[in-house]
Amino acid sequence: MSRILVIDDDAALRTIVRKMLEADHEVVEAANGNEGLTLFRQGGADLVISDLIMPDRDGIETIQELREGWPGVKILAMSGGGSIDPRERLIDAELLGADASLLKPFTMASLRVAVAELLARGSGPRI
């Protein structure tokens, strides 16, 4: 069973993502980038799904730190708001280390396809 770390400051969205994935994966939740990095250091993950706009440590900073410390970890960025077009933020996230991205709101099917494709690329550094 793969371990997935979901980082998003929206508790309702974290719950939805967890419920979409928990039948096939172990899902751990974090409310911001700092908490997410702490949880990753403690238990690792095969895949990190991170929002981009969050307090304390945003998704871009989180992705960059994950990529520097664990170059093989798979990262799925997601965004749907902010003052900048979320599509532009997602492009930036991929340029800075995310393996794939999803525009919010997304469907259950698109999330599952993205997760399956990323996990199929081989095992990530679970630590």
Residue 13 has pLDDT above 60, yes or no: yes
Choice among 6-10, 64-68, 91-95 with the minimum mean pLDDT: 91-95
Predicted local confidence at residue 121, as pLDDT: 87
Six-digit token string for 42: 């403690």
**CATH number given to 2-120:** 3.40.50.2300
Residue 127 has pLDDT above 60, yes or no: no
Query: What CA–CA distance (Å, rounded) separates 123 from 81?
Result: 31
Instruction: Encode pLDDT of 109-119 as tens digits.
Output: 999 999 999 99
Q: Where are the alpha helices (DSSP H) in the chain?
A: 11-21, 33-43, 59-69, 86-95, 108-120
